[in-house]
Amino acid sequence: MPWTLNDYPSSMKNLDKVTKKKAIDIANSMVDEGYDEGRAIPIAIEQAKEWHDNASEDELDEYKEHGQPTKRSREGKKYENNPERLEEGEHVEAHDDGWAVRSADAKRPSEVFENKNEAVKRAREIAKNKGTFLTVHKSDGSVQEERSY
């Protein structure tokens, strides 16, 4: 069942609206990727709280206004069982505001950090949770390091 701001797991009830919205988005995406709901919910809550703690006021306002929890749907997926999603990893890239953490096929970064080490630490954590890979880029865009988890 896809979660929305009107229908979400009870463990998200005490989150503020922006963090709840992000947690729903993460949890829906994880379930689409094949995670069990019981495992996806606590991971999503933890990642949403961490995102909220590290996000700038501008990022929070942008997500509050324009972020939409993704709808869980298999329509439009490349494969029925979604194996390509398991291959998506995290990238650390130079960003106007520092260093960005971005999923492989994402258009926008999930988080931006002032220093590269913090971005790499966060991207490594996400990649380990997803069981995927991490690609760290140099400021010129070339690949500095790749790791699989």
Q: What confidence tens digit (pLDDT) does each residue in 61-103 have? A: 887 777 655 444 444 333 343 444 456 789 999 999 999 998 8
pLDDT grade, residue 138 (50/70/90)?
very high
User: Is pTM beyond 0.75 here?
Assistant: no
Q: What confidence tens digit (pLDDT) does each residue in 24-46 have? A: 988 888 888 788 888 889 999 99
Q: What confidence tens digit (pLDDT) does each residue in 107-119 have? A: 788 889 999 999 9
Q: Which pLDDT value is given to residue 79?
A: 34
* Secondary element (H or E) of residue 96: none
The alpha carbons of the chain give a radius of gyration, in whole angstroms, of 15
Amino acid (one-letter) located at 74: R
Q: Which pLDDT value is given to residue 67?
A: 64
Residue 13: pLDDT over 70:
yes
In angstroms, rounded to a whole number, what is the distance separating the alpha carbons of residues 38 and 57?
Answer: 31
Amino acid (one-letter) located at 52: H
Q: Is 30 helix (H, G, I), strand (E, B) or coil?
A: helix
Q: Which pLDDT value is given to residue 46?
A: 94
Residue 148: pLDDT over 90:
no
- Give whole-number Cα distances, 148 to 58, 86, 121, 125, in Å: 32, 12, 14, 12
